[in-house]
Amino acid sequence: MARGKIKIHGKLTASTILEVVVSMVIIILVFGTAMMIFTNVTKLSLSVKKLRAQAILQEVLLQGTSINEDKSGSSQVDGFRIEQQLKPVENEPKLTELTLTIFDDNQEQVAQVQQIIVKDHVSN
């Protein structure tokens, strides 16, 4: 093999340590901002668990099977705990506010539904 000589007719310019540090800081800031945006989007989006919990609450409201108009309480449905709260509406004796709240296994609130119920009879 024949070896050739490389002739350099000038000075090679290279990056200084300051330029490298500045570029690394810019890259870290861009990635940090992107990670914060990604985390917020995934945290605030509707997950499958939230959608399933909302569907269960809507089904409970439509069926009315677990709604006990005499008291508040809780029940278990598909691994979720549903708490029911009944509260009379002020200045309206025939109306009651029903609040159904659903909690997951970690006792964190997943979904909540409120509805006004009209009583057929007024108890004295």
Q: Are 63 and 82 in contact (CB under 8 A)?
A: no
Domains within the chain, CATH numbers bracketed: 48-118 (3.30.1300)
Q: What is the pTM of this model?
A: 0.54
| Alpha-carbon dihedral 73, 100, 77, 55, rounded to 10 degrees | 170
Quick one: the chain helix, strand, coil %, rounded to 5?
A: 35, 25, 40
Residue 33: predicted pLDDT:
97
Given a cut of 60, whether residue 121 has pLDDT beyond it is no
Given a cut of 60, whether residue 32 has pLDDT beyond it is yes
% of residues, the chain, pLDDT over 70? 80
Confidence tier at 31 by pLDDT (50, 70, 90): very high
Residue 37: predicted pLDDT:
94
